[in-house]
Amino acid sequence: MRTELYFAFRNRKVVGGFAVILAFLLLGLIAPLFTDHGPNDYVGPPAAPPSGEYWFGTTTFGQDIFLQFANGLRSTFLVGLLGGGIAAIVGMTIGFVAGYRGGIVDEALNMLTNIVLVLPALAVLIILHTYIGIKSVPAQALFIGLFSWPWVARAVRAQTLSLRSREFVDLARLSGLRPLTIIRREIAPNMSSYLLLTFILLFGGSVLFAATLDFIGLGPTESISLGLMMNNAVQWSALHLGLWWWFVPPGLGITAIVGALYVMNVGLDEVFNPKLREM
- Cα(first)–Cα(last) distance of the chain, in Å? 19
Distance CA 83, CA 122 (A): 14
Which one, 91 or 227, has the nearer CB to another protein?
227
**Could you tell me the smallest distance in angstroms from the CB atom of residue 189 to another protein?**
25
Beta carbons of 168 and 186 less than 8 angstroms apart: yes
Which one, 105 or 127, has the nearer CB to another protein?
127
**Could you tell me the smallest distance in angstroms from the CB atom of residue 134 to another protein?**
12
Among 242, 273, 274, 277, binds another protein (CB under 8 A): 242
Give the x/- contact pattern for another protein in 119-158, rule: CB under 8 A. Answer: xxxxxx-xxx-xxxx-----------------x-------
Q: Is 108 in the site for another protein (CB under 8 A)?
A: no
Q: Is 240 in the site for another protein (CB under 8 A)?
A: yes
Distance CA 102, CA 108 (A): 10
Which one, 189 or 259, has the nearer CB to another protein?
259
Q: Which of residues 201-230 bind another protein (CB under 8 A)?
A: 204, 208, 211-212, 215-218, 227, 230
Neighbour count for residue 125 (Cβ, 10 Å): 23
Q: Is 199 in the site for another protein (CB under 8 A)?
A: no
Distance CA 267, CA 172 (A): 34
Among 259, 273, 274, 277, binds another protein (CB under 8 A): 259
Which one, 2 or 275, has the nearer CB to another protein?
275
Q: Is 251 in the site for another protein (CB under 8 A)?
A: yes
Partners of 64 in the beta sheet?
58
In a 13 Å sphere around the CA of 5, the CA atoms on its Cβ side amount to: 2
Contacting residues for 86 by C-beta, under 8 A, at least 6 apart: 141, 142, 144, 145, 146, 149
Beta carbons of 226 and 72 less than 8 angstroms apart: yes
Q: Of 23-31, 41-49, 182-190, 255-263, which segment contacts another protein by CB under 8 A?
A: 255-263
Amino acid identity, position 95? G
Q: Is 250 in the site for another protein (CB under 8 A)?
A: yes
In a 13 Å sphere around the CA of 259, the CA atoms on its Cβ side amount to: 9
**Could you tell me the smallest distance in angstroms from the CB atom of residue 262 to another protein?**
5
58: three-class secondary structure by DSSP:
strand
Q: What are the residues binding another protein (CB under 8 A)?
A: 111, 114-115, 117-124, 126-128, 130-133, 151, 204, 208, 211-212, 215-218, 227, 230, 233-234, 239-240, 242, 244, 247-248, 250-252, 254-259, 261-263, 275
